[in-house]
Structure 1
Amino acid sequence: MNKTLLLLLFCPVLRSTAQAQRPDISRYETAYTEIADMLDGKAALSIKRAVFLAEWAYLDGEPDYTAYCAQIDAAAAALGRFIAANGLQHYRTGGNYALFEYFSRPYSMNDYKPFTYDFDDFSGSEDLTKIFVTKVMRTHSGQCRSLPMYYKVLAEAIGTEAHITFAPQHLFIRHRDEQNPSKWVNVELTTQSLAREIFYIENFGISADAIRNKVYLYPLSDRETVAYLLSELASSYHRKFGQFDAFMLKCAEKTLEYLPQNVLAQQHRCNVLNIELKNYMEAHNNIPDEYAVSLDRRWLEYDAALRKLGWAEMPDSIYRCLLNSVEEDMKRQGVDSLSVVKTIQPMKSTDNKTNEL
């Protein structure tokens, strides 16, 4: 795969855009309870439902779940007809083949509209809904978070194996090879291609420790995927309300029960403690006492645990390479110069440490 295609792989995390007033958080509490019940075995695991809950909470009760399910059911039925018409039910990866065709080529099953990469606010920095699955379903365009997550929702609907997998600031799909089940196939929906593992290691600067500790290039189970979605719920909560508080800590701790190597939840936990310590010190004339020292000690322990996993800040050289690739691909795809500058310049002027998972 050409390095210039890195544009489509680059997926920055969400920055906070705090609102002046904090509205009712009851929908976030409802979403947390449902997802936590799935993780704890009190309710059936459902990627479809967990994806919906995070978007529903952020959008204050929208979209409608019945309409959401009906659209997924219709897509699943169309995929089923494609599988039957082409005899794919006789192959272990028949569903994966059908899904790849659904995303990448025009067929009646996708209304002759394959899915494309959305260059407009691809990080969701201005509009968080840009990276929502419901946006992909509506527009057939998305990026490295929403495209693989929608693939996973559809794979669940048709009973096909597929695993959400991480690289730094990036998600993709893994499934087992048809001929050799011990081999993984890496599905890049952002470029409508299959990528070799070395591509991720070299171009995203992934360490051996991070692979060994299952931080990156590790295919998540369904339960682990739901746990990750809970950490995303916390991210959208922070995006909506601008707070690192007890709700975020609750989400992080529940996520880490089932996905202890999750970087996002680890960072949420560190940030909550950091803000708590800052607020406590300001309220006590910046005079450290035993409680302040205990908070600082816990933060250091959490930070050390995160770094022990093999996670590290993305090197500036790799970050710059990704940004340059983004800029080159936007120009090659015919995106107008003003949009290119609007998208890229803020990222070039911002330290890469604010753009990590």
Structure 2
Amino acid sequence: MIGIWLASLACQTTAAYSAAPPSATVLQAETPLATIDRILLMADQGRDIAAIKVAVDKFIDPRINEASVLRQINEMAERIRTKIPHGADAMERTALILKYLSEDSEWNQHQTFSYDLDDPFGTKLENKLLSTYLRTRRGNCVSMPILLLALGQKLGLEMTLATAPSHVFVKVRHNGTWKNVEATSFGVMTDESYRTKTHISDLAIANQIYLRPLSRRESSVVVAEAILEKLKTTGSQQTRLDVADKLLSYDPKSVQTMLHKGNAYFHMLKNEFLDHGPSSTPLSTQSMLRYRHLQRENRRWFSRAESLGWREPRTDDDQRYLEDIRRKRGSLEENG
């Protein structure tokens, strides 16, 4: 179906960006592909997720002070380190990070973090930036797990990202097994809970497109997908396709990147043909070939994602989620 991926996909979605666009000088200094190459090289060089994320965010908003953001994260990690008892295991250290982020105390300077109830589906790309999360203390399922992972890595934990449909979370290695840490609620969840809540199919599990601990390269792809979101509204769709191809070379199982490709082809089809309305003049042979190519590629990439186990989000889930958000907001208002 052409343009199937136009509905909201909760946190990990293609979104509009409302901040001021980058200056022409910045765009000339580094193209999207050059930025992607640099970010993927950082992953290969073993750079931590904080540095990779801030590099991505800097492309999205050139006003970001990278050194300042990284310094804030380092300071947070050092404050947490002072509270870690000798011999604490991985889960105990993880629990201290979650406590630092979520519980009001002098330790965190009475600045707790929480989910952004005003942007429940994470539709504003600006809200996925670490600088925004650190400033507002309100996050989503992109900024929240990435900050948790950044802190965990700096504290010596074996942590990585993992994904579920329209969602990102963290896995931590504990006694030889991976445990799931849900950064949006500051707790732990089982794989089965994610499967039930997000309707992950047996096919998706068999093909390992969800719930697996991601490699450093694969995690960098998850972070870099924000650049695809930026390009959806501010760049050429062909550049978006080129960036997606580069990301798929690092993670061939990234269904989110496949969906970006399908959506990019839809926008090209829309811009070149559908927006012009019906015409009494038949398409030329060349134009018809172009139309069919775009239509075929749009369908192919959605079919590819579906063949691996991806399924279009269910609208009834979105409605239940929004109702949960309304109840949560009402409870917070009631309690002052």
Q: TM-score normalized by structure 1?
A: 0.77
Give SS of 1:200's match. Answer: helix
Question: In structure 2, which of residues 74, 87, 112 is the aligned counterpart of residue 114 of structure 1?
Answer: 112
Whole-angstrom distance in 1 between the partners of 2:205 and 2:112: 33
Aligned to 2:3: none
Q: What letter is aligned with 2:230? A: S
Question: In structure 2, which of residues 151, 162, 165 is the aligned counterpart of residue 165 of structure 1?
Answer: 162
1:247 CA displacement = 1.9
Q: What letter is aligned with 1:271? A: N
Q: What letter is aligned with 2:38? A: E
Residue 230 (str. 1) matches residue 232 (str. 2)? no
1:113-192 paired onto structure 2 within 5 Å: 113-125=111-123, 127-178=124-175, 181-182=176-177, 184-192=178-186
Structure 1 residues 124 and 23: alpha-carbon distance in aligned structure 2, compared to 1, 3 A threshold:
farther
Aligned to 2:6: none
- State the identity %: 22
Q: Deviations over 1:132-176 (max 9, x none)?
A: 211222233322221111111112222211221222222221213
Give SS of 1:276's match. Answer: helix
Uncovered stretches (5+) of structure 1, i.e. residues with no partner: 1-9, 337-357
Aligned to 1:249: 241
Whole-angstrom distance in 2 between the partners of 1:106 and 1:19: 31
Q: Deviations over 1:236-284 (max 9, x none)?
A: 2324x1x452221122111111222222210111122233344455799
Give SS of 1:82's match. Answer: coil
Aligned to 1:205: 199
1:21 CA displacement = 8.8
- Work out whether residues 157 and 172 of structure 2, in 8 Å CA contact, stay in contact via their aligned partners in 1: no
Aligned to 1:195: 189
Whole-angstrom distance in 2 between the partners of 1:249 and 1:211: 27
Aligned to 1:267: 259
- Work out whether residues 32 and 230 of structure 1, in 8 Å CA contact, stay in contact via their aligned partners in 2: yes
Alignment length (residue pairs): 315
1:187 CA displacement = 1.5
Structure 1 residues 148 and 18: alpha-carbon distance in aligned structure 2, compared to 1, 3 A threshold:
closer
Whole-angstrom distance in 2 between the partners of 1:95 and 1:256: 34
- Work out whether residues 123 and 131 of structure 1, in 8 Å CA contact, stay in contact via their aligned partners in 2: no
Question: In structure 1, which of residues 33, 38, 43 is the aligned counterpart of residue 37 of structure 2?
Answer: 33
Q: Deviations over 1:313-335 (max 9, x none)?
A: 12233232222222222222228
Q: What letter is aligned with 1:208? A: D
Structure 1 residues 51 and 298: alpha-carbon distance in aligned structure 2, compared to 1, 3 A threshold:
same
Residue 215 (str. 1) matches residue 209 (str. 2)? yes
1:52 CA displacement = 0.9
Q: Deviations over 1:276-318 (max 9, x none)?
A: 3444557995445444434433333322211101101122332
Structure 1 residues 285 and 267: alpha-carbon distance in aligned structure 2, compared to 1, 3 A threshold:
farther
Q: What letter is aligned with 2:111? A: K
Give SS of 1:173's match. Answer: strand
Whole-angstrom distance in 1 between the partners of 2:122 and 2:31: 20
- Work out whether residues 39 and 56 of structure 2, in 8 Å CA contact, stay in contact via their aligned partners in 1: no
Whole-angstrom distance in 2 between the partners of 1:304 and 1:114: 42
1:23 CA displacement = 5.6
Whole-angstrom distance in 2 between the partners of 1:285 and 1:149: 51
Aligned to 1:352: none
Structure 1 residues 18 and 81: alpha-carbon distance in aligned structure 2, compared to 1, 3 A threshold:
closer
1:72-87 paired onto structure 2 within 5 Å: 72-83=73-84, 86-87=85-86
Q: What letter is aligned with 2:110? A: Y
- Work out whether residues 45 and 222 of structure 1, in 8 Å CA contact, stay in contact via their aligned partners in 2: no
> What is the RMSD of the two structures over their aligned residues, measured on CA atoms?
3.0
Where in structure 1 do 4 or more consecutive aligned residues deviate above 4 Å? 17-23, 278-285
Aligned to 1:101: 99
1:94 CA displacement = 4.6
Name the stretch that deviates more: 248-257 or 44-53: 44-53
Whole-angstrom distance in 2 between the partners of 1:222 and 1:231: 14
